[in-house]
Chains A and B, each alone.
Chain A
């Protein structure tokens, strides 16, 4: 069955370190998204991609970067982790807009920055 996975599921790191969160989908979806979820803020879009070599900034992109070298993967990198980036991170994918934009979510990564 097609799925979307994230790794690691839990990560503790120190301020200033570079961290990469992995997202892998086997739906063959062109669209992929990264969100962070914090109490009181709901889901906020960090970065998104509509295809290989395409990346776009979301509403809270500062301090984060992504790259899309193939259809299946969209890794999220925190260049220099900050305590404000402690959060739960979700990756999602979807087909093209004409199919309705329904998004399929991964299980999430809980990141703690000390």
Chain B
């Protein structure tokens, strides 16, 4: 079953604005990852945050993790039309081996 619940399901913003997507999960994790999927393509890994980390940055991406609330957020700053894609969170529990459990995704549309 899907562990991650993503919010919102769809988000439409103007170029230059910030986009925030949220992910909640149910069980204990070792890390949480965010992926992007452009239309008709496979998923691409964006960033990984470990369970003992609270915040991580990569370029225009900022990820936070609150293990007490079992939630994470992905912030894309100064968005561009090229950021238009679906974004998925995925959780890893090493007791489950190499599997990831994916959320249902947030569809982001950035209008020029």
Contact = CB atoms under 8 A, between A and B. Distances in A.
A48 to B, nearest CB: 6
Interface of A: 30-31, 33, 35, 40-45, 48, 50, 58-59, 90, 92, 94, 96-98, 100-108
Interface stretch (B55-63, B66-74, B92-100): B92-100
B1 A59 contact: yes
Nearest to B101: A45
Given A42-B2, A90-B43, A108-B42, A101 B102 contact: no
B85 interface: no
- State which size class the interface on B falls in: 20 to 34
22 contacts: A31-B98, A33-B99, A42-B88, A42-B103, A50-B98, A90-B42, A90-B43, A92-B43, A97-B94, A98-B94, A100-B31, A100-B50, A100-B92, A101-B30, A101-B94, A101-B98, A101-B100, A102-B45, A102-B48, A105-B35, A108-B41, A108-B42
